[in-house]
Chains A and B, each alone.
Chain A
Amino acid sequence: MSIRMVPLGPTLHKMNRIIRDVSKKLNKEISLKIIGEDTEVDKNIIEKIGDPLMHLVRNSADHGIETAEVRILQGKPGTGTVTLEAKNAGGEVLILIKDDGKGLNKEAIMKKAMENGLGGEELAEMTDQEIFNLIFLPGFSTKEAVTEFSGRGVGMDVVAKNIESVGGKILVDSIEGKGTVITLKIPLTLAIMEGMNIKVGKSCYTLPIMSIKESFIPKPDEIFRGPDNNEMIMIRGQCYPILRLHECYQVKTEVTKIEEGILIMLEGDTRTFCLFADELMGEQEVVVKALPKYVSRMKKIDGLAGCTLLGDGNISLILDVDGLNSRNSKIN
């Protein structure tokens, strides 16, 4: 486990260059402060947060920090400061991107939101935080002029997406005239995931929430079979193959009629298919554990990513959508 953990230092120090570039181009005086550079994060996660971090720092420097003249007029020191701070907080790592610039303009965000069709009443009910979070929507920029660095309205939504893809969260807080703080909450490791527990016979399986598109109870007449006897279902004009988990893994179950169970539509890298299970048991955050060495050495089981312990002490097998997918195509 610890071998996968890498300090954030090098990633944070890369931001020095961004700050230097921006300050030169835009004629601003900006200094970068880095705190907590030896905070460690899973290697895979570091790779994913490099670009979002770069974008956020560039944003702070470009949108946030004012020019020296403006700053001095407002009684602030001429040199703006962007602070990057990383720290551990429980099972998460927090990365804070702080600037002492002009802060987010709430009015401008609200105005922009109304232009984009959001009602005034809805906006009135929103907390400041919720309003600030609007900047993560696609196509949202309050900046009038597009510069080389920012203002195109793409970026923040991509940042949010990237952070979410590693299971993280992004929060914004801002005080007008004082500055902005963007907080990235990142899981320490990818070994924890959001899962949906499903049941087949007596066995419990866990699917990664990210791959589930929808789940529904099919009607028997919606199902049809191809010449090779593989089942398919037509949903909104699209045809999807059905994979019955109990057949695929030879699990004994009483639920074999399609209308008695549930279909879960899963999106894999290569294609989307429907998995047939007895029932859904609920959503849960699970800790991914590897299958025992004895088992993994014996055979690589397609479609199994590992296992996890449920609250009641039972074991649930974690399914890997792409593995299942390849099984499914083999059958077909």
Chain B
Amino acid sequence: MPEEFEEFEENEFEEYDEEDDKDEGQYLTFSVENESYGLEIIYVTEIIGIQRITEVPELPEYVKGIINLRGKIIPVMDIRLRFEKPFREYDEKTCIVVVEIQDISVGIIVDAVSEVITIRDEEIVPPPDLDDGYSQKYMKGIGKVGDEVKLLLDCDRLVNEDEIQDLN
């Protein structure tokens, strides 16, 4: 899969005479509530439909539990609860985006997956400085695609910075 994308993008860029772009500029976009979010595609290993989640006691509310992904057991977090949005019942559009960072696989439950898009660095602006928003720190930037904005998430922080949250 990734190779196909790469090839396709490279050809396209050749036409536009752009410097060659790798996976870095590619984002998987998904929607949560009314917003559209983006995750760097290099971290995404697969997208699966919602499946039976085994609850694990004593974890923060946003960690819904663990799932069996072809024999591998991975935790899943609900991005809505993570960003303190109201819980929504899962439906057929609900997806689990499996991301892998530093050998840690985590499933992220999102409302719906949209598409893979390329956003060039110059189209990404840093998020405005707000000190009150706690979800702000998981944002890497805001990408402009046409007249839409995509909130680009920092995957590494999303997965690796829970302990600090838990202490609070």
Contacts and interface: CB of A to CB of B under 8 A. Distances in A.
Interface string B63-78: 1001110010111000
Interface in A188-234: 202-204
Interface string B43-73: 0000000001011111110010011100101
A294 B107 CA distance: 11
A200 B54 CA distance: 12
Interface in B102-117: 103-106
Contacts of B166: 298-299
A297 B163 contact: yes
B55 A203 contact: yes
A294 B54 contact: no
B59 A299 contact: yes
A111 interface: no
A295 B54 contact: no
A282 interface: no
A309 B57 CA distance: 17
Interface in A246-260: 248-251
A179 to B, nearest CB: 45
Interface string B16-58: 0000000000000000000000000000000000001011111
Contact of A298 (B54, B60, B68): B60
Contacts of B162: 298
A284 to B, nearest CB: 16
B106 A314 contact: no
Interface stretch (A92-100, A157-165, A285-293): A285-293
Main secondary structure of the interface of B (DSSP, over half): mixed
Contacts of A291: 56, 66, 73
Nearest to B106: A294
A274 interface: no
A250 B60 CA distance: 13
B54 to A, nearest CB: 4
B27 to A, nearest CB: 23
A295 B68 contact: no
A316 B56 CA distance: 10
Contacts of A315: 54, 66-68, 73
Nearest to A309: B68
B142 interface: no
A294 B52 CA distance: 19
A298 B59 contact: yes
B97 interface: no
Nearest to B56: A295
Interface in A266-317: 289, 291-295, 297-299, 301, 304, 307, 309, 313-317
Nearest to A296: B75
Contacts of B67: 315
A291 B68 CA distance: 11
B59 A295 contact: yes
B155 interface: no
B56 A301 contact: yes
B44 to A, nearest CB: 16
B152 interface: no
A295 B52 contact: no
A307 B58 contact: no
Given A292-B75, A298-B166, A317 B54 contact: yes
Given A292-B105, A315-B66, A315-B67, A251 B55 contact: yes
A293 B74 CA distance: 9
Contact of B63 (A202, A203, A249, A295): A295
Contacts of A289: 73
A314 B52 contact: yes
Contacts of B105: 292, 294
A291 B56 CA distance: 10
Contacts of A202: 55
Nearest to A290: B73
Interface in A34-62: none
Interface of A: 202-204, 248-251, 289, 291-295, 297-299, 301, 304, 307, 309, 313-317
Given A202-B55, A294-B75, A309-B73, 9 more contacts: A203-B54, A291-B73, A292-B75, A293-B103, A294-B106, A304-B56, A315-B54, A317-B54, A317-B56
5 contacts: A294-B106, A297-B163, A299-B166, A304-B56, A314-B68
